[in-house]
Chains A and B, each alone.
Chain A
């Protein structure tokens, strides 16, 4: 398994500002993922962040809005830029861990973002 922490756990932000969310893992992992969970909804993948390469974004998400950094194998950040109330969501990072032949994904506790 993996222990994942996120900072901040929650924040209330003003429209037009940006927030950077940090994700820290207790072990080195190759693949990290960022998800968004809008109120009352399921999770949607934003992007995949691999160390040493540019993040890969899913349809509907762009780098200008959600820039991602992956400076090493235990850490990543997601920035939500120029925020609007529609960005109010829970943002979660996840990592993939190999255990024998299984590739399980573990999630951080999430960052609850409210944009006013």
Chain B
């Protein structure tokens, strides 16, 4: 079963607005990674946040992690039409499951020009 749940399932915004996507998970993790997928193609790695980190930035991306609530959020600032894609969170539980990613259901982001 999928560990991760993401909301919203779909998000539609105008160019220049910020987009926030949330991810929840059920078990303890070693790290959490965010990916982007354009039109059913391969996944592009966006950012990794480790369990002992609370926030990370990369360009227009900001990721937060709250291990007490077992949740993470991805913020895309000043969105562009090119940001239109599906976004997935994926957790690595570590231990015997090291390296095995469990994916959320994804958020479909549409940015209108």
Contacts and interface: CB of A to CB of B under 8 A. Distances in A.
Interface in B77-101: 88, 90, 92, 99-101
B19 to A, nearest CB: 19
Interface residues of A, number: 25
A94 B88 CA distance: 15
Interface of B: 2, 4, 31, 33, 35, 40-45, 48, 50, 88, 90, 92, 99-106
B42 A103 contact: no
Contacts, number: 60
Contacts of B50: 102
Interface of A: 1, 31, 33, 37, 41-45, 48, 58, 90, 92, 94, 96, 102-110, 112
A107 B35 contact: yes
A110 B35 CA distance: 14
A102 B99 CA distance: 11
Given A33-B101, A41-B105, A94-B101, 20 more contacts: A33-B99, A42-B4, A42-B103, A42-B104, A42-B105, A43-B90, A43-B103, A45-B101, A45-B102, A58-B100, A96-B99, A102-B31, A103-B31, A104-B33, A104-B45, A106-B45, A107-B42, A107-B44, A110-B40, A110-B42
